[in-house]
A and B are shown apart, each in its own frame.
Chain A
């Protein structure tokens, strides 16, 4: 019995830091609709700043003052990010801000490395709470009780703020209907900034308060990110009690999971999230989203235009240039361009559901890695040839997308994104844990091309042919009735249904088709690299595709191509410098602020300026006519 009490208390204290960080994220999302990937970085900064403060502020008072000051400092940093990075792009397409926050992650990672150095820092113990409490014959660190108390304190404080103060009531109102609050004369900018300060400060305090349980290190940011998103989604985005209950649920499950199913720890929370979302698509305490009620979707997109003659010419020129590369470029240029083409195919397949379908997937790596693994496994276990494996991979990935899509397309918006993320994590953990078949994280090695394609130039032409065909097919599909139906479902599900389009079926088919193409990219990847590891199924891989699509421009068919070229080359070039993450982060932020419609926005801006119709309506009429 004592054992179970101690287990439950351990779970409760683990929930504390998670709840603090998650509540901050939840508040920020609820009001500003920004999916803030850099929230984990704020948590990490809180730990580092408090660590430094504690070395100068001694004793009991110093300890708690450090935690509080770290919270304020991180709140101010959050405020700077909000004012400097996010404010200029609130009017951009939905979820565009996440690219900027990804840039912030990179910048903070390198700054933290610069300031605090590479070594792990072990947190100071809390003065007065160094010991243990005896519960029966079990021991529990007394600081665990402090953390439990702290989480209830914050929960109570937030409840008071949101229910008993005017500011809090305004924030809640803004969570429900931002436009209406604005129309009633509330200054939204102040509300946004305040909320960002509060949310970031909570993350900072979370990071600082866990110091006696662990420390500060440079991997904290990504390590907390996934659990925090899981908690926010299970609880319901924007709901504080939801975040609390979900943090508790996850932590307790984890504690008992460790006891009874030690291997389960990697995937448990994602399975829970998937189950919750399947039965309660808006989380335990969330409310259904009203489509279009959140204003950040930007103006409706202009319809797609038919390819002009000049465009055909430019495309032909590009293809000829790429074909000619082996005649004038070095070997490495071919390797690099093969990577670029694979990235473009991967991103274009994501754009198909994201841009045309309005379905923002955070788990597109599942089909990319899935295709790569399918090809590698076929070669490994049946000795199949490269040609057969490449043919097989997209179908396997499509099948995977069929299963995942069946669950996911019932949801929309951020909940769709998170469910795809959950499934991608489940696929990842299968590859990671099932060592006998997939080789675990030692991967599958020795998956090289057939003899005829094993030379660098030969494989480059293979990637060029297959990759460009894939991209061309994806572009072509946008102009088929299927593509039109997909776009119709994105712009108005109601009207599409009314004219007899089965929106969900169309979306599901698109999801499968995109998975098919992404699997093809995965197959090209695995034979280019000769091996496959679970890293290709990681969240970071999905993020790569998202960043490419958003950076390039969601609203243009050519966005993912522009993004793929720029992002891959930029990363390759910058990674030669020591603090390349700082530069890459700053460049991403710069691009995002200067080109709120993505890279292809430049082209549109130029055309608008130097000729051709600039008015979207005119363009539409031109095409219709």
Chain B
């Protein structure tokens, strides 16, 4: 036991040594990137690829403020506590100027709380939770991707034009699913007080019992269905639902269903005729976007997913903010982020000063199957700014004044 304790002390000393050797490169601006690279690699790897591409592109053009950008990526294991520890390390040992990333909402919320407490800049790239910029928003947290509220409102707009009165919902039983259903219900009821929600199904995340869920949905005889399931749950839901005739003669809306991450694994079984939010990267003709797709394919020998675009835009946003601030000092960067406008492959976006949400939008269209693959047709890009609440409402939603 004596020797073991000596060993323990030695281990502590060794750890101290390892920590002490953090590199001090003078001519780079370091950005910390924290994401769930092992829990949901199907999403986070395209994200990272997009971000790396942006870093390389910017550096090739001479970097930011005459310095090269350097992104340090770390895996948070999908655990908020782990993400906080890594954030501490990135700031104190690696000396990053800010942190970004994260996909899971709970990890994003934990990092936002950390950023507020420690007065460090955090740009949340992908987490969708509305609370991130509203209920739990703070001066040091910004978010790029269109939130649950925005995407659900886009679909509710289309739902309101449909004669369907009896709506059923199915969503994974966790915060994102609950938010997505609540936002959709609120937006739809505002436009159509005559609709009725006949059933709400809540399968466990990635634990759907598709047969039973479909039986339950069918039993409530809805006119239309609002789907929030994704990933493996979506695949099971679509296959079983098509078999059991659930989608016949019904309008089906799918939140995020058109994103390549979710649509492509379905191959020729992708649902036909669903109205979805997604990312038809293959059909967007704007030159800036075409250039992005070409560069991405040249760099990674793969096509971009929505995560790739978000990763790319994240780094562009950071570079623009540092450029505008003229320094990498936190308060200056925060002030620069407020109201920051920049051009991205998906068009011009602005980080709203009032709630720190970017106005990046989403594509809404109808799914179809072409050449054995799911595609979006008849799509339109919906500007994010049009689906955000008024300033007055935001002030009510967001206790933080800064």
In the assembled complex, which residues on chain A have CB atoms less than 8 Å from the CB atom of B140?
none
**A153: CB under 8 A from chain B?**
no
Of the residues A433, A445, A556, contact of B110 by C-beta under 8 Å: A445
**A245: CB under 8 A from chain B?**
no
Q: Which residues between 229 and 267 of chain B lie within 8 Å of chain A, taking CB atoms?
A: 231-232, 235-236, 239-240, 243-245, 264-267
In the assembled complex, which residues on chain A have CB atoms less than 8 Å from the CB atom of B204?
265-266
How far, in Å, is A384 (CB) from chain B's closest CB?
18
Where chain B touches its partner, the secondary structure class is: helix
**B202: CB under 8 A from chain A?**
yes
**B13: CB under 8 A from chain A?**
yes
Known A-B contacts A120-B265, A259-B215; A443 and B244 likewise in contact (beta carbons under 8 Å): no
* Nearest-neighbor residue (CB-CB) of B42 within chain A: A118
- Interface digits, A38-53 against B, CB 8 Å rule (1 contact, 0 not)? 0000000000000000
**A569: CB under 8 A from chain B?**
yes
Q: Which residues between 577 and 608 of chain A lie within 8 Å of chain B, taking CB atoms?
A: 580-581, 599-600, 602-603, 606-607
Of the residues B12, B38, B93, B113, contact of A445 by C-beta under 8 Å: B113
Known A-B contacts A120-B231, A603-B1; A336 and B15 likewise in contact (beta carbons under 8 Å): yes
**A501: CB under 8 A from chain B?**
no
How far, in Å, is B43 (CB) from chain A's closest CB?
8
How far, in Å, is B81 (CB) from chain A's closest CB?
5
Known A-B contacts A335-B89, A529-B81, A530-B110; A329 and B211 likewise in contact (beta carbons under 8 Å): no
- Interface digits, B93-136 against A, CB 8 Å rule (1 contact, 0 not)? 10000000000011001101110110000000000010100001
Stretch among A211-219, A492-500, A616-624 lining the B interface? A211-219
In the assembled complex, which residues on chain A have CB atoms less than 8 Å from the CB atom of B77?
575
- Are the CB atoms of A530 and B209 closer together than 8 Å? no
**B2: CB under 8 A from chain A?**
yes
- Are the CB atoms of B79 and A535 closer together than 8 Å? yes
**B383: CB under 8 A from chain A?**
no
**A119: CB under 8 A from chain B?**
yes
- Are the CB atoms of B232 and A214 closer together than 8 Å? yes
- Are the CB atoms of B173 and A265 closer together than 8 Å? yes
Most buried by B among A7, A318, A322, A442: A442
**A262: CB under 8 A from chain B?**
yes
- Are the CB atoms of A558 and B110 closer together than 8 Å? no
How far, in Å, is A524 (CB) from chain B's closest CB?
12
Most buried by B among A339, A432, A433, A575: A575
- Are the CB atoms of A120 and B235 closer together than 8 Å? yes
How far, in Å, is B280 (CB) from chain A's closest CB?
19
In the assembled complex, which residues on chain A have CB atoms less than 8 Å from the CB atom of B6?
314, 317
- Are the CB atoms of B202 and A530 closer together than 8 Å? no
- Are the CB atoms of A214 and B235 closer together than 8 Å? yes
- Are the CB atoms of A533 and B16 closer together than 8 Å? no
- Are the CB atoms of B1 and A318 closer together than 8 Å? no
Q: How far is the CA of A263 from the CA of B210 in the complex (A)?
A: 15
**A90: CB under 8 A from chain B?**
no
Q: Which residues between 1 and 58 of chain B lie within 8 Å of chain A, taking CB atoms?
A: 1-9, 11-13, 15-16, 18-20, 22, 38, 41-42, 45
**B299: CB under 8 A from chain A?**
no
- Are the CB atoms of A336 and B2 closer together than 8 Å? no
- Are the CB atoms of B266 and A144 closer together than 8 Å? no
* Nearest-neighbor residue (CB-CB) of A372 within chain B: B81
**B311: CB under 8 A from chain A?**
no
Of the residues B88, B109, B206, B209, contact of A531 by C-beta under 8 Å: B109
Number of interface residues of B (CB under 8 A): 82
- Are the CB atoms of B265 and A119 closer together than 8 Å? yes
* Nearest-neighbor residue (CB-CB) of A4 within chain B: B215
- Are the CB atoms of B19 and A10 closer together than 8 Å? no
Q: How far is the CA of A612 from the CA of B201 in the complex (A)?
A: 66
- Are the CB atoms of A10 and B9 closer together than 8 Å? no
Of the residues A113, A266, A331, A576, contact of B41 by C-beta under 8 Å: A113
How far, in Å, is A372 (CB) from chain B's closest CB?
10
- Interface digits, A127-164 against B, CB 8 Å rule (1 contact, 0 not)? 00001100000111100100000000000000000000
Q: How far is the CA of A468 from the CA of B22 in the complex (A)?
A: 29
**B200: CB under 8 A from chain A?**
yes
How far, in Å, is B229 (CB) from chain A's closest CB?
13
**B213: CB under 8 A from chain A?**
yes
**B67: CB under 8 A from chain A?**
no
- Are the CB atoms of B212 and A219 closer together than 8 Å? no
How far, in Å, is A327 (CB) from chain B's closest CB?
11
**B84: CB under 8 A from chain A?**
yes
Known A-B contacts A120-B265, A213-B236; A339 and B85 likewise in contact (beta carbons under 8 Å): yes
- Are the CB atoms of A262 and B41 closer together than 8 Å? no
Number of interface residues of A (CB under 8 A): 96
Known A-B contacts A120-B231, A122-B267; A443 and B106 likewise in contact (beta carbons under 8 Å): yes
**A536: CB under 8 A from chain B?**
yes
Known A-B contacts A339-B85, A443-B110, A606-B3; A121 and B265 likewise in contact (beta carbons under 8 Å): yes
Known A-B contacts A122-B267, A566-B11; A441 and B175 likewise in contact (beta carbons under 8 Å): yes
- Are the CB atoms of B84 and A265 closer together than 8 Å? no
**A64: CB under 8 A from chain B?**
no
Q: How far is the CA of A91 from the CA of B122 in the complex (A)?
A: 51
Of the residues A11, A219, A315, A331, contact of B5 by C-beta under 8 Å: A315
**A60: CB under 8 A from chain B?**
no
- Are the CB atoms of B216 and A118 closer together than 8 Å? no
Q: Which residues between 296 and 324 of chain A lie within 8 Å of chain B, taking CB atoms?
A: 308, 310-311, 313-315, 317-318, 321-322
- Are the CB atoms of B129 and A442 closer together than 8 Å? yes
- Are the CB atoms of A440 and B74 closer together than 8 Å? no
* Nearest-neighbor residue (CB-CB) of B130 within chain A: A442
Q: How far is the CA of A525 from the CA of B79 in the complex (A)?
A: 13
**B203: CB under 8 A from chain A?**
yes
Known A-B contacts A214-B232, A442-B129; A331 and B211 likewise in contact (beta carbons under 8 Å): no
- Are the CB atoms of B211 and A14 closer together than 8 Å? yes
Known A-B contacts A144-B211, A265-B209, A535-B79; A331 and B265 likewise in contact (beta carbons under 8 Å): no
**B75: CB under 8 A from chain A?**
yes
Q: How far is the CA of A440 from the CA of B269 in the complex (A)?
A: 34
- Are the CB atoms of B2 and A310 closer together than 8 Å? yes
Q: How far is the CA of A572 from the CA of B88 in the complex (A)?
A: 13
Q: How far is the CA of A91 from the CA of B71 in the complex (A)?
A: 48
Q: Which residues between 331 and 390 of chain A lie within 8 Å of chain B, taking CB atoms?
A: 331-333, 335-337, 339
In the assembled complex, which residues on chain B have CB atoms less than 8 Å from the CB atom of A569?
11, 15
**B396: CB under 8 A from chain A?**
no
In the assembled complex, which residues on chain B have CB atoms less than 8 Å from the CB atom of A315?
5
- Are the CB atoms of A529 and B80 closer together than 8 Å? yes
**A435: CB under 8 A from chain B?**
yes
* Nearest-neighbor residue (CB-CB) of A222 within chain B: B206
**A424: CB under 8 A from chain B?**
no
- Are the CB atoms of A531 and B210 closer together than 8 Å? no
Q: How far is the CA of A544 from the CA of B290 in the complex (A)?
A: 47
Known A-B contacts A215-B232, A266-B204; A258 and B89 likewise in contact (beta carbons under 8 Å): no
- Are the CB atoms of B1 and A558 closer together than 8 Å? yes
Q: Which residues between 65 and 91 of chain B lie within 8 Å of chain A, taking CB atoms?
A: 74-75, 77-82, 84-85, 88-89
How far, in Å, is B215 (CB) from chain A's closest CB?
6
18 other contacts beyond A213-B236, A314-B5, A445-B109, with CB at 8 A cut-off? A14-B212, A139-B245, A311-B5, A317-B5, A321-B9, A335-B88, A336-B19, A435-B175, A441-B174, A445-B112, A446-B136, A529-B81, A530-B110, A533-B80, A535-B78, A562-B7, A562-B8, A603-B1
Closest A-B pairs by Cβ, 3 of them: A118-B41, A314-B5, A603-B4
List, sorted by A's number, 22 A–B pairs whose CB atoms are closer than 8 Å. A7-B215, A10-B211, A119-B42, A139-B244, A141-B240, A141-B243, A213-B240, A215-B265, A219-B232, A258-B201, A265-B204, A313-B2, A442-B106, A443-B106, A445-B113, A446-B117, A454-B117, A530-B117, A533-B110, A565-B11, A566-B11, A575-B74
* Chain A positions near chain B (C-beta within 8 angstroms): 3, 6-7, 10-11, 13-14, 109, 113, 118-122, 131-132, 138-141, 144, 213-215, 217-219, 223, 254-255, 258-259, 262-263, 265-266, 308, 310-311, 313-315, 317-318, 321-322, 325, 328-333, 335-337, 339, 432-433, 435, 440-443, 445-446, 448, 454, 456, 525, 528-531, 533, 535-536, 556, 558, 561-562, 565-566, 569, 572-573, 575-576, 580-581, 599-600, 602-603, 606-607
